[in-house]
Amino acid sequence: MNALNPSALHSAVFDHPEMGGHENIVFARDRDSGLNAIIAVHDTTLGPALGGCRVWPYEKPADALTDALRLSRGMTYKNALAGLDLGGGKAVIIACPREEKSQDMMEAFGGHVERLSGTYITAEDVGVSPEDMEAVARRTDHVRGTSATGLGDPSPYTALGVFEGIKASAMHVFGNVDLEGRTVSVQGLGHVGFEVARQLAEAGATLIVSDIHAPAVERARDALGASVVEAGDAHRVEADIFVPCALGAGLNARTIPEIRARIVAGAANNQLQTPADGIALKRRGILYAPDYAINAGGVISIALAKPGEDDGRVRAKTLAIGETLTRIFERAAHEDTTPEMVADKMAEERLAQAGQGTDS
């Protein structure tokens, strides 16, 4: 057996650039099922740390640690800003979701979640299916979003919040929430994007849609009367509002100079490639709705749904995303800063008020 070099371990883990105020990091293993997972609990000031479990074939364990640390911190901010009494955490399982993941592995993961005694609550994320979460739930009650605990697919609530956020953005820029006659470019017509496009069409917006998956585009064209552009052109078409609902990092040094819309407000996670891209949008006079503020409807539905209850509480909290964004936009204008910087500050202020705060 190799001797453990304490200083190497210290620099790999404790001096990791993504290490902030993380409270607990568990390296969870199970020899029989082949489980190798990292559970990162970032901050429990506001309550138990809620955040999904991702299964991904990371090339190096260090990449998995980076993802777990970064994503768990992001969940602290997202849950705080959404007004949930929940902290932030995230789990990553190092495995190929198609070839290596197994029900035994997910059960073993559930056993590790159970050992954290409710300080971490898990849910679905990339590479995890509802059946996988049922397997996790056989070993722990600290799971949300299963058919027994939740409202099912969170995407409709994410879409509801995004639509509300688009209206708040329109109010701030155009002085009017009315979307009738506004031209909106929706990029990505998956679970969230199609539903946002449907609501926009219902509100009378002129829709331009794009997706790399041809059937998704055809469906939007036929059902919603949308016009279609190539996926790579979505950001540069003549439109009032650009709604990214595909992948992250779409707002970058290449795309931002080409954007013609006055507003960017969509569901995609991690839209800004770097913090400088947020500043570039502001310089161009484009209002950006911070992604983790506008797309919180899904986590709200996972967090607040109770078995046997209707979705009234979830809808009310999701609709409040519009008011949160209005506060963010007004404060950003007042302080001459970017909306995403204000969103971070507002989350940090809530954490500080609740007690100990977080050292980022």
Q: How many other CB atoms are found less than 10 A from the CB of residue 211?
A: 23
- Residue 58: which residues within 8 A CB-CB, separation 6 or more? 64, 67, 92, 94
Task: Looking at residues 150 to 209 of the shown chain, list those that interact with ligand NAD (rule: CB under 6 A).
Answer: 154-155, 158, 187-193
| Least distance between ligand NAD and beta carbon 143 (Å) | 17
Q: What is the rounded distance in angstroms from the CA atom of residue 178 to the CA atom of residue 54?
A: 38
Q: Which of 90, 167, 282, 317 is catalytic?
A: 90
Q: Which is nearer to ligand NAD, 47 or 298 (CB)?
A: 298
Q: Which is nearer to ligand NAD, 204 or 248 (CB)?
A: 248
Separate counts of helices (H) and strands (E) for the chain: 13, 12
Sign of CA dihedral 197, 200, 204, 209: negative
Among 10, 29, 138, 213, binds ligand NAD (CB under 6 A): 213
Look up residue 348 and give its two tokens.
């940090």
Among 19, 26, 203, 212, binds ligand NAD (CB under 6 A): 212
> Which DSSP symbol is given to 311?
S
Q: Is residue 221 close enough to count as binding ligand NAD by CB under 6 A?
A: no
Among 269, 273, 326, 337, binds ligand NAD (CB under 6 A): 269
Q: Which is nearer to ligand NAD, 24 or 273 (CB)?
A: 273
Q: Is residue 145 close enough to count as binding ligand NAD by CB under 6 A?
A: no
Q: Which is nearer to ligand NAD, 177 or 249 (CB)?
A: 249
Is residue 260 within 8 Å of residue 238, measured between CB atoms?
Answer: yes
Residue 90 is among the residues annotated as catalytic for this protein: yes
Helices 339-353, 321-335: inter-axial angle, 10-degree rounding: 110
Which of 286, 253, 246 lies closest to 270, judged by CA?
Answer: 246
Q: Which is nearer to ligand NAD, 87 or 127 (CB)?
A: 127
Q: Is residue 298 close enough to count as binding ligand NAD by CB under 6 A?
A: yes
Using DSSP bridges, classify how beta strands 87-94 and 53-56 pair: parallel, antiparallel or unpaired. Answer: parallel
Contacts to ligand NAD by CB under 6 A = 154-155, 158, 187-193, 210-213, 216, 231, 245-248, 267-269, 295, 298
Catalytic residue positions? 90
